[in-house]
């Protein structure tokens, strides 16, 4: 196991990380996008993005795109490289505000978190479309880990914290149980060559209806490229 520092809330840190990783000349077979914050008070990343959207979504969007050529080089016809992005059931109630992705008009911690998780699902589906169109040996899937007992809940109201403390053993998954579907997506032979799937409890299931809106997927992708300063590959496809 080798550790390289990367702050997903910093575009500069992401780019530095990619440079350091490239210098090692390793193949890249699996990328798991799993960083996140939840229900944080209104605040911005160093790049000026609303924190949920900037860290949970844009950080992973940039990281994935900067590593995409390495993933394509590492995947083969019989063993595709795999991208796994961790979303949440919260995406089902999320709304994507294309005219206000930074939640400047009205900020709600719940709304901003849900929007970031919906964005990850839309991103995964559009990414798989691009990978398929290019004939790449890379698959992209999105995972819902379920309700897991982690420090992610430190910003919820104190009453919720008390209830969580009392009931976690009964209703919450352990971190090991929460990781199982991500691991399944990363290594299971059953997922070889399968992309554009939403996985929960190691099974393919249906995501929110809005996540299948291809026009919304394209518009979010184009806007995301502008935000992080990369070229829009999707614009070159029919």
Angstrom CA distances, 133 to 85, 136, 225, stand at 20, 8, 19
Tokens of 40: 């944080």
| Of the candidates 94, 125, 101, the residue with the CA atom closest to the CA atom of residue 218 | 125
Q: Indicate the SS3 state at residue 83.
A: strand
| Of the candidates 62, 77, 215, 82, the residue with the CA atom closest to the CA atom of residue 141 | 82
Residue pair 52/117 in contact (Cβ under 8 Å)? The answer is no
Quick check: is 26 catalytic?
A: no
Angstrom CA distances, 232 to 48, 98, 116, 166, 237, stand at 21, 17, 20, 48, 10
Backbone angles phi, psi at 50, to 5 degrees: -55, 135
Please report the beta strands in 20-172, taking only residues with DSSP state E, as ranges in sequence order: 30-33, 81-86, 138-144
Catalytic residue among 113, 125, 184, 198: 113
Tokens of 26: 């390793």
What is the spatial distance between Cα 117 and Cα 24, in angstroms, rounded to a whole number?
32
Give the active site residues: 113
């Amino acid at each position: 196991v080798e550790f390289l520092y990367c702050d997903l809330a910093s575009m500069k840190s992401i780019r530095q990380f990619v440079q350091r990783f490239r210098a090692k000349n390793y193949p890249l077979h699996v990328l798991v996008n799993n960083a996140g914050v939840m229900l944080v008070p209104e605040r911005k990343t160093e790049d000026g993005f609303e924190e949920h959207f900037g860290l949970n979504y844009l950080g992973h969007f940039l990281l994935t795109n900067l590593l995409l050529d390495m993933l394509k080089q590492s995947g083969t016809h019989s063993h595709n490289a795999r991208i796994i992005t961790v979303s949440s059931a919260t995406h089902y109630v999320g709304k994507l505000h294309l005219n206000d992705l930074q939640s400047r008009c009205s900020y709600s911690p719940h709304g901003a978190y849900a929007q970031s998780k919906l964005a990850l699902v839309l991103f995964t589906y559009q990414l798989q479309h691009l990978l398929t169109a290019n004939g790449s040996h890379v698959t992209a899937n999105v995972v819902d880990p379920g309700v897991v007992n982690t420090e992610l809940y430190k910003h919820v109201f104190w009453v919720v914290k008390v209830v969580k403390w009392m009931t976690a053993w009964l209703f919450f998954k352990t971190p090991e149980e929460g990781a199982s579907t991500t691991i399944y997506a990363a290594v299971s032979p059953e997922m070889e060559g399968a992309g554009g799937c939403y996985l929960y409890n190691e099974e393919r299931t249906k995501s929110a209806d809005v996540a299948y809106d291809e026009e919304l997927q394209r518009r979010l992708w184009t806007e995301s490229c502008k935000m992080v300063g990369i070229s829009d590959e999707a614009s070159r496809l029919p």
